[in-house]
Structure 1
């Protein structure tokens, strides 16, 4: 199958059914003869898909959803296919008002969901979507793949949810296994309901990991039965002196279950040995001098440290990580490890050895910020790189060496993917210590070739963190995340050959009505052709 570039005439060819073969969402680089004053043709639904799919074949008439449309679910894993169908029906009913009953049995017209474990080329999260006059068939090797197929179906329909799914076939699978976003509820506290809203926003664009930064100097946000003052006292504050708050274990379990139903894994982070003033303020025994400091409401970093020489410290680490591991079904447990400026290097390495061993005892895989590369990463430990253009060559070399030693990397370069960085000087919320991050800069880079000496095979994926020192409301949260987090979604999912700013900016612009319909506050970047 031949790969075609997006051109001004592509939508016409697709609509006429003239274009055969496989269509990649790769734009022409300087060879489009369209005059500057000739506005680009409107994108077809296939062209507007975001993330860009691996392959699209347009073919004839499609399927019109109507009052008689039924969602049919074939046999699945313990009813999981039925559950995916029910969730898809719920998502489509909202805007369309159609009844969309879900019935067992994959035969007949309508929207058909089915598992085919032998389907070639789809992997664990890929899918095939086929649309024609008789209905739409979604096929995957796993329920997760079916869920992703359903999210593509949503985008192929008008924002109203009523209309015709264009005829053709989408065959798709992700580039990277890990496609994540991080939320910081420690600097400013946010409710589980707000985080659930973000999960829904992310999952529709095939983001599959939610990293939750649960603890920091300013607040401890998760209840720990064996150390109750962590949340009760350490959670009662935030940046600027607000009331703070914390999640109960039940609330955390609820979030994990909610995310899991949307095939989003939750990665909890308990930051250590630095970023721990909330814990030190809660328990004097965690301090080397036995004296608890005051709670902290500022934004400086690097001043706090657990007492590495005390055995009581490791009882604390074991208790906390054990309770968090028991609450979290996913494979990863994040132990921070960044900006431990008050912990001498030898103490840092010794502490991280013991903390990593605890994670392993509880059956989890260690994730830590890339500073762990300067110590002794445990076998299989994942390093999350948050450096930027000004990060020293020596530090980057240590990270590359860890990758060569078999440690997978999650890339979160601060001057590309930190969603709390301002878009430009006039952006009201946010910070700028890593520089301004316009929408184009957030998208226009290649994770597979980002760090010298690190091959794409060593990159587990990408993650966009949202720190909240200067983010206090849902509107500010969404403004900083959108639309940049959609670039993260495409960088994580789409084939490298599909990554092109010009094509992406048009597809991003086409998402505006969808974001507006969902009530999402977003930044109308001047470099995106929104109109």
Structure 2
């Protein structure tokens, strides 16, 4: 079904920030009612009340004398979508009507937000009619637990927040974080049991969120092949299965069965299948006489048949066919339209189309700008060949550790959501890769952006979304959340401020060997500052930025009406991002000191900054650990991990401080050589 949305919609309800923005709001006669005037909530008919938010749930479920909220299930004058609803505010109260329970649930979520704004800001809810429905039927987010687990209660809280914003799907990348009963060697010692996962899924289903598993197959198989060496395509790598060994499918299908039992009502089975680096090199594969691409598609057909036979729709990342067809570079590189048209050739895909399973959904992942010509041409090719396609954008990239950047990637999410709606794709997934394992509170704004633009792609601008997010999540204005944009900028400097070589950016390939910056030479004062002038100039800029962040965070914490934990995560993250700046400034003071007395004072400052690192580290770990487990359990076996993901470098949280810990130790040794007691507590 095709839904239409305006090119730009303006919220006609001054002061209210409904998120996602409804499709249509009609203001009635002058006047309105306050949220606290509503005295009860009842149903008209024989059906159960949906799960309610905090404010609606306080209302008694019986008829009262005052103004109330009436829920109606009806096919009359309601949107065709099962998730659509009509919300009318009149002199006698509020009616919410829909043709299905999902629509009633979402109408109640909108009413909850109206009442929240009325309470928080003293706003009169105007007499009006909202007609609302989603432009995209499947609006999902991605939970990637390959490198960490959060506490079970946090998943329940997250589900409540996602449902509040009308997200209706989660694709959960399990890897070794499920306790597989058929293959117990695969699950980590702290893995979630099938019974715990079933309970989480039931809770989500009550809030109209489907949780479906992603169990990596063919590639990204280190969590399996670190135990099953006999199934490796390359004995030296745990990255790929051998697709020609029947035992591959015995193991893979056992994991699928366990995952589907843990998520018994899931719609999909995501089979992975991306980023394969070596197929066809093993004797078992060579004996088949098939090409690497043919072997991949044989594997895909078998796993798709399994999914369909178990009542699930298979989903497959689509990059490998595009690499086979030499189209990947055209889609991922920033090329002019002329260059794209000159080199665009789908002949290899056209020849291979018979190998594409028709019952599979091909997940078209594009984490940057999706509006390029090559990307749009590819969507046309899929459409012409009758293949089902789902989009995958990103709320958090693996290449940006500690926190997402660029306004939580909201513009890319918005653009891809528009393409999905225009091309009637199957849905959209907002990924959140765990390669750099940012705290999920820092990812949440990207998830909420997906909720906003998956529901109404042509609604708000990015600036309007930022303002609506600030209001909904914190009871603040967009201006009061400006510190978050500054934090995103600060993260770029933090990434490599203390090294001259090496990467901790997962998409560039994390390097465990790196070169820390040099330290000042007492015999050549000023030389160090000259050598690192550009770095120190940037540090000075970042110091000013940090002051802005601290002021903004302090104001937000004083005025926030909710989600103070999120602000505390931001606060501790910003303190970590600022630590290299403080250390660089202290070293510059020593290098530029005009005399011995000045150098001695500078050394004390350097010592104090070194001493403070343990506090920064401890404070961050204490806050993060309120929701996530900060280390792997005893006996945990790490993957070889072909990509060297940052968060896989240590079994505890030391990977977060990859450069900072050795730099502090280097500076301490340097201080010790000075033989000056710069700090009484320094060890």
Structure 2-normalised TM-score?
0.57
Instruction: Return the offset for 1:199.
Output: 1.3
Matched, 1:54 2:23: yes
Structure 2 residue aligned with 1:406: 386
Superposition CA RMSD, Å: 3.5
Matched, 1:349 2:309: no
**Conserved in 2, the CA contact under 8 Å of 1:23 and 1:56?**
no
Moved more, 348-357 or 59-68: 59-68
Q: What is the alpha-carbon distance in structure 1 between the residues aligned to residue 265 and residue 274 of structure 2?
A: 25
Instruction: Return the offset for 1:520.
Output: 5.3
**Conserved in 2, the CA contact under 8 Å of 1:379 and 1:407?**
yes
**Conserved in 2, the CA contact under 8 Å of 1:420 and 1:466?**
yes
Instruction: Return the offset for 1:493.
Output: 0.5
Matched, 1:129 2:64: no
Structure 2 residue aligned with 1:442: 411
2:99 to 127, 132, 141: 141
Q: What is the alpha-carbon distance in structure 1 between the residues aligned to residue 151 and residue 9 of structure 2?
A: 40
Structure 1 residue aligned with 2:59: 100
Q: What is the alpha-carbon distance in structure 2 between the residues aligned to residue 463 and residue 195 of structure 1?
A: 18
Q: What is the alpha-carbon distance in structure 1 between the residues aligned to residue 15 and residue 408 of structure 2?
A: 23
Decide whether aligned partners of structure 1 residues 249 and 160 sit closer, same or farther in structure 2, where only a CA change above 3 A counts: farther
Decide whether aligned partners of structure 1 residues 265 and 184 sit closer, same or farther in structure 2, where only a CA change above 3 A counts: same
Structure 1 residue aligned with 2:33: 63
1:481 to 436, 444, 447: 444
**Conserved in 1, the CA contact under 8 Å of 2:473 and 2:563?**
no
Decide whether aligned partners of structure 1 residues 377 and 75 sit closer, same or farther in structure 2, where only a CA change above 3 A counts: farther
Q: What is the alpha-carbon distance in structure 2 between the residues aligned to residue 127 and residue 106 of structure 1?
A: 24
Q: What is the alpha-carbon distance in structure 1 between the residues aligned to residue 413 and residue 375 of structure 2?
A: 23
Q: What are the within-5 Å matches in structure 2 for residues 23-422 of structure 1?
A: 26-27=9-10, 44-46=14-16, 48-59=17-28, 60-66=30-36, 69-76=39-46, 79=47, 81-82=48-49, 84=50, 87-88=51-52, 91-92=54-55, 99-103=58-62, 109-158=67-116, 165-215=125-175, 220-231=176-187, 235-236=188-189, 245-287=190-232, 304-326=239-261, 327-343=263-279, 344-371=292-319, 373-374=321-322, 376-389=355-368, 400-414=380-394, 417-418=395-396, 422=400
Q: What is the alpha-carbon distance in structure 2 between the residues aligned to residue 158 and residue 471 of structure 1?
A: 33
Q: What is the alpha-carbon distance in structure 2 between the residues aligned to residue 141 and residue 116 of structure 1?
A: 5
Instruction: Return the offset for 1:466.
Output: 1.2
Q: What is the alpha-carbon distance in structure 1 between the residues aligned to residue 64 and residue 429 of structure 2?
A: 36
Q: What is the alpha-carbon distance in structure 2 between the residues aligned to residue 165 and residue 449 of structure 1?
A: 30
Q: What is the alpha-carbon distance in structure 2 between the residues aligned to residue 444 and residue 368 of structure 1?
A: 20
2:564 to 516, 519, 529: 519
Decide whether aligned partners of structure 1 residues 26 and 399 sit closer, same or farther in structure 2, where only a CA change above 3 A counts: closer
Instruction: Return the offset for 1:286.
Output: 3.2
Q: What is the alpha-carbon distance in structure 2 between the residues aligned to residue 394 and residue 49 of structure 1?
A: 35
> Secondary structure of the equivalent of 1:379?
coil
Per-residue CA deviations over 1:215-242 (Å, capped at 9, x if unaligned) read 1xxxx111222111111xxx24xxxxxx
1:429 to 380, 383, 402: 402
Decide whether aligned partners of structure 1 residues 520 and 223 sit closer, same or farther in structure 2, where only a CA change above 3 A counts: same
**Conserved in 2, the CA contact under 8 Å of 1:72 and 1:106?**
no
Q: What is the alpha-carbon distance in structure 2 between the residues aligned to residue 332 and residue 195 of structure 1?
A: 20
**Conserved in 1, the CA contact under 8 Å of 2:31 and 2:127?**
yes
Moved more, 129-138 or 144-153: 129-138
Q: What is the alpha-carbon distance in structure 2 between the residues aligned to residue 512 and residue 468 of structure 1?
A: 23
Q: What is the alpha-carbon distance in structure 2 between the residues aligned to residue 520 and residue 404 of structure 1?
A: 48
Per-residue CA deviations over 1:415-461 (Å, capped at 9, x if unaligned) read xx435564xxxxx6047xxxx533475367433664xxx88234222
Per-residue CA deviations over 1:377-436 (Å, capped at 9, x if unaligned) read 42232222223459998787656423432333322235xx435564xxxxx6047xxxx5
Matched, 1:457 2:423: yes
> Secondary structure of the equivalent of 1:190?
coil
Per-residue CA deviations over 1:50-100 (Å, capped at 9, x if unaligned) read 211111112233333448711102335xx4x32x1xx21x52168xxxx41
Instruction: Return the offset for 1:358.
Output: 0.7
Q: What is the alpha-carbon distance in structure 2 between the residues aligned to residue 321 and residue 170 of structure 1?
A: 42
Decide whether aligned partners of structure 1 residues 119 and 52 sit closer, same or farther in structure 2, where only a CA change above 3 A counts: same
Q: What is the alpha-carbon distance in structure 1 between the residues aligned to residue 259 and residue 64 of structure 2?
A: 40
- Tell which structure's C-alpha radius of gyration is larger: 2
Instruction: Return the offset for 1:519.
Output: 3.5
**Conserved in 1, the CA contact under 8 Å of 2:300 and 2:357?**
no
Structure 1 residue aligned with 2:542: none
Q: What is the alpha-carbon distance in structure 1 between the residues aligned to residue 408 and residue 210 of structure 2?
A: 26
1:508 to 458, 465, 469: 469
Q: What is the alpha-carbon distance in structure 2 between the residues aligned to residue 349 and residue 204 of structure 1?
A: 40
Instruction: Return the offset for 1:486.
Output: 2.2
> Secondary structure of the equivalent of 1:255?
helix
Instruction: Return the offset for 1:203.
Output: 1.1
Instruction: Return the offset for 1:513.
Output: 2.8
Decide whether aligned partners of structure 1 residues 339 and 114 sit closer, same or farther in structure 2, where only a CA change above 3 A counts: same
Q: What is the alpha-carbon distance in structure 1 between the residues aligned to residue 171 and residue 270 of structure 2?
A: 8
Decide whether aligned partners of structure 1 residues 390 and 177 sit closer, same or farther in structure 2, where only a CA change above 3 A counts: closer
Moved more, 183-192 or 509-518: 509-518
Structure 1 residue aligned with 2:583: none
Per-residue CA deviations over 1:182-217 (Å, capped at 9, x if unaligned) read 0101122223322222211111111111111111xx
Instruction: Return the offset for 1:322.
Output: 2.6
Q: What is the alpha-carbon distance in structure 2 between the residues aligned to residue 510 and residue 455 of structure 1?
A: 27
> Secondary structure of the equivalent of 2:130?
strand
Instruction: Return the offset for 1:366.
Output: 0.8
Per-residue CA deviations over 1:267-303 (Å, capped at 9, x if unaligned) read 21001111111111233443468x8x8xxxxxxxx96
